[in-house]
Structure 1
Amino acid sequence: MSQSKRPTLRQLEYFETVARLLNYRMAAAALGISQPALTTQIHALEASLNTSLLERSRSGTHLTPEGRELLPHAREVLSAMRSLQDHATVVSEGALTTYRLGVPPTLGPYLLPHVMPELHKRFGQLKIYVREQPHQTLVEELRHGTLDLAILPLPLMARDLVIERLFSEPLRYVVPAEHRFAGTPVVRPRQLRGERVLTLEAHHHIHALVREACDRFGASIERDYEGTSLDTLRQMVVMGLGTAFLPALYIHSEMHIPEALYVCELEGIPLVRDHGLAWRAAAPGRHFYREFTANLREIIDGRLGDVVEISGGAGGRQRRGGP
């Protein structure tokens, strides 16, 4: 193979993006290039490797068997290059100045505005690029090097990641104005038997928590009405379609005016979701990440300690084996 026909890192990045999204239009937008330019580069990569990687049909874009075989190797090359760049930055500057942080969409908008200003005060040169994605996507992007850090729901089974616990966030029971619990500050779990509960779509971590709670309390999830966001879920409760469990940070941030909703406490059985900060175990900036975690935990405690419960220091560290 001649030098000019060897695959380029850019072509491998394009291939990995299309393989991850399985949509040329979305991949081109994510990469900031035109769709024809992306198609040309994919064809050039296939020619250099002398094999077809992607198949396009009316049903969509799919990996060929050869593409499935070569995709992990392409990701290894890209991860190695990002690691080289990170190490070079550490050596030349002493610390990275730009970090890519992933957060779930049900947490980021209600947490980050409270902590980002103080983080910038403490780390003057720190720049954070924030990406919101479902937690399953964040784990994959963290592993592939697209992200440096991610705030993820716990527990998380990941042998290749280090996870530091940050805080526990209560879920509050919210009912519409005409509901029998309206104005009732404390509800006993047994009173939820037979209640219709709305929740988010299944790919959100909170869905599993609510489903487990409903099974335990004898309530039923409304399968026909699943929210795409916390705002949508709140509006469905307002319209009287059911009740819901909403995160405390969301309530603290977005529900200053009740809007015909009432927030109740569950007596004796706290329903919470746990959050942790994760990074790759071999990341070159891992020593800084521990310092960053301690500061983040301290800021959350100072600004939101009346809403969430902070996990304790190194004792709150989770590093688990898994598949």
Structure 2
Amino acid sequence: MPTLRQLEYLVAVADLQNFGRAADVCHVSQPTLSQQLRALEDRLGVALIERRTSGAELTPIGREITARARRLVIEVQDIRDLARRAGEHLVGTLRFGVTPTLGPYLMPPIVAALHREQPDLRLHIREGIPEEQALVLSRGALDMLLGPLPIEGGDLEVQPLFRERLFLVAPPDHPLAMRPKLCVEDLKGAQVLSLGRSHHLHRQVAEICAELGMELLRDYEGTSLDSVHQMASSGVGLAVLPELYIGSDVGGRTGIEVLKPQGWKFTRSIAAAWRSGAAYRDAYRTIADRIQAEARALIG
């Protein structure tokens, strides 16, 4: 029978498509990993991996076996987590995924509070694109995820937490910023900045622009909310920024004015997610409740 460790090696190679990186993730030498995968193939009597100079790729049967191996690896990890539980307290490192348009402006006070309440818990926070992180979560490489809805993935439990307003901002000398009254009809034709297309916020801003007749500046896509903020303050265009960013110390309103056009009521919904069968799912709900309370205190 294949060993669990061999199956873990197979899943790592499938995810990374590289023997060296897979060996690093599994904390073994590359020769050891390669030897064990050869032994796995010999034991099963099939070729699982096509070895190339540019990397590694699964064979068709390798993909089928890896899908089943991944489920086994996740189940065993959940069993290990369950065995390590100490009462109602989390112990060890929690791998926490969060969108970069939210994490830096919400997580610091939450991390501090959790450390005070559960000193044996460590949060390993990874910023990333929500759709990609949902896939990583379902594969077992993340424990919990915080991001905008919708969050989609197999066997995930999703808990909506709060709704965050989206604000339209402009430099103080922009013609729209100097109007005493403003309505959404006045925004038609206005040029708007956004993040790159892989971000959920980009798609939401594109929908807002289409609804109100504004022009999305696709040649000036920011790499972060700070870069969008800076371009807006320099007069490149308007920007749509989340409420927690604008209210934070690291974001703020420097160089911009928040426009308040009548009829502007755009928001985004934020949720937490974890695997539905996770051993720590009750603790994850507690963390989600803490995030919800902190966010609501910040945005009122």
Indicate the TM-score class for this superposition, using the shorter chain for normalisation. 0.7 to 0.9
* Contact 1:12–1:78 (8 Å) recurs in 2: yes
Displacement after TM superposition at 1:56 (Å): 5.4
Deviates more, 1:37-46 or 1:101-110: 37-46
Is the counterpart of residue 97 in structure 1 residue 69 in structure 2?
Answer: no
Which amino acid in structure 1 is aligned with residue 164 of structure 2?
Answer: E
Displacement after TM superposition at 1:28 (Å): 5.3
Superposed CA deviations along residues 149-193 of structure 1, whole A, max 9, x for unmatched, are 211211335562222221111111122455322355874222221
Displacement after TM superposition at 1:23 (Å): 4.8
Q: Matches of 1:104 and 1:229 in 2, distance apart?
A: 11
* Contact 2:246–2:253 (8 Å) recurs in 1: no
Question: The residue matched to 1:190 in structure 2 has which SS?
Answer: helix
* Contact 1:186–1:264 (8 Å) recurs in 2: no
Is the counterpart of residue 152 in structure 1 residue 147 in structure 2?
Answer: yes
Residue from 76, 83, 94 that aligns with 1:81: 76
Residue from 241, 251, 255 that aligns with 1:255: 251
Superposition TM-score, scaled by structure 1 size: 0.79
Is the counterpart of residue 119 in structure 1 residue 114 in structure 2?
Answer: yes
Aligned to 1:221: 216
Q: 1:68 to 1:185 in 2, by over 3 A?
A: farther
Displacement after TM superposition at 1:244 (Å): 1.7
Aligned to 2:277: 282
Q: 1:31 to 1:191 in 2, by over 3 A?
A: farther
Deviates more, 1:6-15 or 1:27-36: 27-36
Structure 2 residue ranges without an equivalent (≥5)? none
Displacement after TM superposition at 1:276 (Å): 1.1
How much identity, in percent, do the aligned residues show?
39
Q: 1:189 to 1:14 in 2, by over 3 A?
A: farther
Deviates more, 1:194-203 or 1:180-189: 180-189
Displacement after TM superposition at 1:105 (Å): 1.7
Aligned to 1:136: 131
Deviates more, 1:127-136 or 1:26-35: 26-35
Displacement after TM superposition at 1:106 (Å): 1.6
Which amino acid in structure 2 is aligned with residue 129 of structure 1?
Answer: H
* Contact 2:18–2:55 (8 Å) recurs in 1: yes
Deviates more, 1:278-287 or 1:208-217: 278-287
Question: The residue matched to 2:46 in structure 1 has which SS?
Answer: coil
Q: How many residue pairs get matched?
A: 298
Which amino acid in structure 1 is aligned with residue 91 of structure 2?
Answer: T
Aligned to 2:299: 305
Q: Matches of 2:212 and 2:133 in 1, distance apart?
A: 31
Which amino acid in structure 2 is aligned with residue 147 of structure 1?
Answer: L
Q: 1:266 to 1:279 in 2, by over 3 A?
A: farther
Residue from 194, 217, 236 that aligns with 2:189: 194
Superposed CA deviations along residues 20-73 of structure 1, whole A, max 9, x for unmatched, are 244556555655666666555555544444433344557765432222222211
Aligned to 1:319: none
Question: The residue matched to 1:106 in structure 2 has which SS?
Answer: coil
Superposed CA deviations along residues 200-223 of structure 1, whole A, max 9, x for unmatched, are 222211112111111100112222
Q: 1:18 to 1:87 in 2, by over 3 A?
A: same
